[in-house]
Amino acid sequence: MTLDVERVAHGGIFVAHHEGRVVFVADAIPGERVVARIFDQSKDRFWRAETIEVLEASPDRRRHVWAEASVERAPEHRAGGAEFGHVEITRQRALKAEVLVDALARFGGVERDVVVEPVSASLAPDVDLDAGTGWRTRVRLHVAADGSVGPYAARSHTVVPVASLPLAVPALTALAPLGERFAGARAVDLIAPSVGDAALVVVDDERMPRAPRPTIVERVGDRDFTLDRDGFWQVHSGAAATLTSAVHDLIDAEGFDPRAANHDLYGGVGLLAAAVGDRFGDAVRITSVESDARATEHAGANLADWVGARAVTARVDRYLDELATSAGRAELTRLADATIVLDPPRSGAGRAVVDRLAELRPRQLVYVACDPVALARDVGLLRAHGYELEALRAFDLFPNTHHVEAVARLRAIV
């Protein structure tokens, strides 16, 4: 059917209407007229579609940065993972800002303008800022039944053979075995740490190995972080430094007490706890809480420079429950004076964690979010507990995708 595309929606898709019904259509741009194929009519309220021809193009449409993901290909053969690659880069950022603004208004009750900032060229020298390519330091290639490798097609688990990986850093494009076969493997991981050589890892079994797991080192400024080679790290080559700088900027120094019970929740290997320590000195008291035991082990070593730092292995919700029920009066006072940094998974912190945080009543929260709707929902929950959104920055850490990273500061006001 022919559709007039109206606006962007969360998730890298766009909104059109057909005879009063909402149609979510992929690979379009607001203002375009497209021919789209409906592939999902399972819901009464909306359908899902994918563009197969552009009749009237937006002035912001460009040749897709990844030929294998282009609208010229049949949808079932388009590589996934670059759903905004057909959109000029400044318009991409405007679309991401629009999604974040809309989410904050709808779910957080906050009206606020947002500018999505690019990563500084000084932090990611290999990135083509105009094209949004050359930034990805981790790539997983899936293995098809015949042993060929490639990304999944958009919205499916079909492996698409490709001849290029334009989002990857140069070290990975040189290493990628795109024409080879890996019969019997599950996946091939490509990893380019900031220290040392890039690696190709054939994944035969997703279970944790019994042998010692290989480690890598990532450098942020003058500081090194050790982590498991298959452990979590920000995928954009300049993301860790960008978020470190943003946390530095967003913490209100006048409201920060280095002796308080400061925390880094969902702390990983200690990146953001280190950001706090680097800004406020080696006597800062801060606890990193992370459910992954290996990451916590690394965090303990990575934070060894700070005498007041410690790393705890625990689920954040259970840790806060225990803290709320067992803390004495002095500890509750230190919590009330605290700054809490939290970087939850894509699903956000959620009601249970928000409710406990509000009960403990830290002075300020610095919330790092990779999903605008989850952030907005949690902002709304926190506002109901008497916290207000004081500051917000957003960053384009995933160019040519719909993803956007945001860092927010909330303060207890009542």
C-beta of residue 82 within 8 angstroms of C-beta of residue 164: no
Cα angle vertex 378, ends 372, 382, to 5°? 140
Q: Which amino acid is at 100?
A: L
Q: Look up 99 and say whether it is catalytic.
A: no
Q: Pick the catalytic residue: 240, 360, 370, 392?
A: 370
7-11, long-range: CB < 8 A, 24+ apart: 7/98, 8/95, 8/98, 8/99, 9/99, 10/99, 10/102, 10/103, 10/372, 10/373, 10/402, 11/402
351 backbone dihedrals φ, ψ, rounded to 5°: -60, -45
Cβ proximity of 375 and 348 under 8 Å: yes
Task: Could you list the residues known to form a binding site, using ranges.
Answer: 234, 266, 290, 343
Residues 6+ apart with CB under 8 A from 235: 136, 137, 138, 397, 398
Binding site residue list for S-adenosyl-L-methionine: 234, 266, 290, 343
Residues annotated as catalytic (active site), given as ranges? 370
